[in-house]
Structure 1
């Protein structure tokens, strides 16, 4: 069983598909991406039906690695107060769920495209304003850095959605 790698917060998370073609996420990688120590399933009160020990190839040879279901992934993310998990929670609560409630579905490509346009416009307006005092410069530098990350994420989501639509 060869896992795929999904990039979250610049951390690779190994993913395999179960017999029903549902994704399973490597618990250790998930915890690492969320800045959590101790990737022990009992720590998180996970649903045992969604916890699997799978033998996969690693740099140290084949090893048994714990993978978790999507349900259990959400359990970990929504219980965490780490900034990395809060970013994911904000996206789900402020974007995904309201969009599903309003439209009945969620299109990562359309949402990423709209967000990319908004961020690029915000970046242009902010750049045109400019500022010359040190506090404003510091804020602008921080804002520019955050926008660059958000823009890169949107572009990445657009690419993933485009690739999915080609294969689906």
Structure 2
């Protein structure tokens, strides 16, 4: 079974679909993306029904890897206090859940449009400010890189929402 790759925090997370089409996430990849050391499924009180062992092709040959359900993915992310997990938690708590409560659904495409517009405006304002001292230039360079990555991610997410749509 060849997994798809989902990028989170600049880490690839392998994903496969189970027999019912539900995503399963590669447990070691999730732990690496969240900077969790000594990762063992028993450490997180995961739902046993959501733990799957699969033989997966890797650079070192076919290996038996642990994959976890979406439910178990959330258990790990929401129990973590790592900054990597907090970004995901903030998104769910500040955007996804309030949107569902207010409207009954969550539109990733609309959110991606709003985020893209916000980032482009932020980049324009930051560019217009500029700075001539070295600390400001270094900060601006980092800010520009982070914004570029976020803008590209939004564009990719928007493109994915249009896959399969005919004009």
Cα distance in 2, alignment partners of residues 82 and 18 from structure 1? 29
Alignment size in residue pairs: 166
Structure 1 residue 71: Cα displacement: 0.4
TM-score by length of 2: 0.88
Cα distance in 2, alignment partners of residues 154 and 25 from structure 1? 22
Partner of 2:162, secondary structure, is helix
Q: Deviations over 1:134-156 (max 9, x none)?
A: 55445444433332232222122
RMSD: 2.0
Cα distance in 2, alignment partners of residues 101 and 153 from structure 1? 26
Q: Which runs of 5+ in 2 are unaligned?
A: none
Q: Deviations over 1:115-163 (max 9, x none)?
A: 1011111211222233445554454444333322322221222122223
Structure 1 stretches of 4+ moved >6 Å = none
Structure 1 residue 95: Cα displacement: 1.4
**In terms of mean alpha carbon deviation, does 151-160 or 127-136 score higher?**
127-136
Corresponding residue number in structure 2 for 1:150: 150
Corresponding residue number in structure 2 for 1:2: 2
Partner of 1:37, secondary structure, is coil
Q: Which runs of 5+ in 1 are unaligned?
A: none
Partner of 2:15, secondary structure, is strand
Structure 1 residue 110: Cα displacement: 1.5
Identify if the C-alpha distance between structure 1 residues 22 and 132 changes in structure 2 by more than 3 Å, giving closer, same or farther.
same
Cα distance in 1, alignment partners of residues 90 and 58 from structure 2? 33
Partner of 2:119, secondary structure, is helix
Cα distance in 1, alignment partners of residues 24 and 160 from structure 2? 18
Structure 1 residue 70: Cα displacement: 0.2
TM-score by length of 1: 0.87
Structure 1 residue 104: Cα displacement: 1.4
Corresponding residue number in structure 1 for 2:30: 30
Are 1:109 and 1:162, in contact at CA under 8 Å, matched by a contact in 2?
Answer: no
Matched, 1:105 2:105: yes
